[in-house]
Amino acid sequence: MSKNAKVVEVVVEAGMLDMIKDAVLFQGSFSFMFYVCLAGFCLANSRVVLKDANLHEAGKSRINYFHGLVLMVLMSFGGSTLAAIMCGKPVPFVCNEALVSVCLICWTVAYLDNEHLKGMVNKLLSENDIGAVLSSILWEIMRCHVAMNCSAMAQGAKLIATRDLAIIGPLIAGTLGGCGGGFMPLNKGLDPLKNGTNWRIGSAVINSIWLFASMQYPSTKAFIGLSVTSARFVAICICVIPPLIQMATGFKPLGPNPLVTGPKAKAS
């Protein structure tokens, strides 16, 4: 090689997949996606609260604002709260005040929309195909992050004093964090168990097992061989993709997802 030869640096730009990973994992320049997904998560939960209230009120579009707000907080952060209490850690909305603040704003918007705008926001996020897909994706991404955080928190708590690696704790915490509210409030959250498990509970169990196998248990972690980022991205896909399949085909092997429906029937 000539002494005068120049060394050319090759800069490899991040591919589309890397950008998607950063976006759904709130990394790098996509840290703002945390607030986007949190807002989508809370708006989706507000739709469920309003829908349940309307059903219980025989079709009336009335619900007490403060009653709905409490239901929103329980439904949104019940799982992470129970997991934190179980692990002896501060509950998330004490550590991150953005959680309840965004929840309050989203519930206020949804409540006023339901009362005065005839549910325009609700229709945009449920009856419009693009809005429904976006709502489902944002909700599932945030739910998966809660599950991942709860599983890691339980592993770090070393709940089993006689073992170097906790097993039961991370599986339970991951399930609680990923089932969408940790069955809170209990008078509503336990109802799905009467007829088996719905999508949220079944997928939370599967995802907690995946998180444990791919990121925590040494033997399976080495066998799977994925980086932490890739393992977390797969966990996101486990939550995000099946609801989209249900919307497109109606196929729901783990039970119905309450946020989405099957394909719309074509008009004859």
Please give the chain's pLDDT, 268 residues, in tens: 445 544 444 444 557 888 888 898 988 888 999 999 999 998 888 888 887 666 554 445 567 888 888 888 888 888 788 888 887 888 887 888 888 899 999 989 888 877 777 677 777 777 777 888 888 899 999 999 988 888 888 877 665 544 566 677 778 877 887 777 656 656 555 666 666 567 778 888 888 889 888 888 888 889 988 998 999 999 999 888 888 888 888 777 776 676 766 666 444 3
CA distance linking residue 184 with residue 172, whole number of Å: 15
On whether residue 12 sits in a domain, the answer given is no
Gap between the Cα atoms of 85 and 91, Å rounded = 7
Domain contains 261? no
Scan for tokens 């989405």, then name that residue: 260
17 falls within a domain: no
Q: What is the pLDDT of residue 183?
A: 62
What residues make up the domain containing 240? 31-249
Report the distance separating Cα 170 and Cα 140, nearest Å: 20
**Residue 175 domain-assigned?**
yes
Tokens in use for 140?
């599932």
61 in a domain, yes or no? yes
pLDDT of residue 233: 93
Helix axes 228-249, 199-215, angle to 10 degrees: 160
What are 82-141's pLDDT values in tens digits? Answer: 888 887 888 887 888 888 899 999 989 888 877 777 677 777 777 777 888 888 899 999
Domain-embedded: residue 262: no
CA 4-5-11 angle, 5° bins: 140
Give the tokens for residue 42: 């809370």
The pLDDT assigned to 11 comes to 43
d(CA 92, CA 78): 10
Task: Please report the pLDDT score of residue 83 as a whole number.
Answer: 81
Residue 219 lies in a domain: yes
Domain count, the chain: 1
pLDDT of residue 88: 81
Q: Rounded CA gap, 187 and 208, in Å?
A: 25
pLDDT of amino acid 265: 46
CA dist 193 and 71 (Å) reads 19
> Could you give the 3-state DSSP secondary structure of residue 12?
coil
pTM of the model: 0.81
Is 24 within a domain?
Answer: no
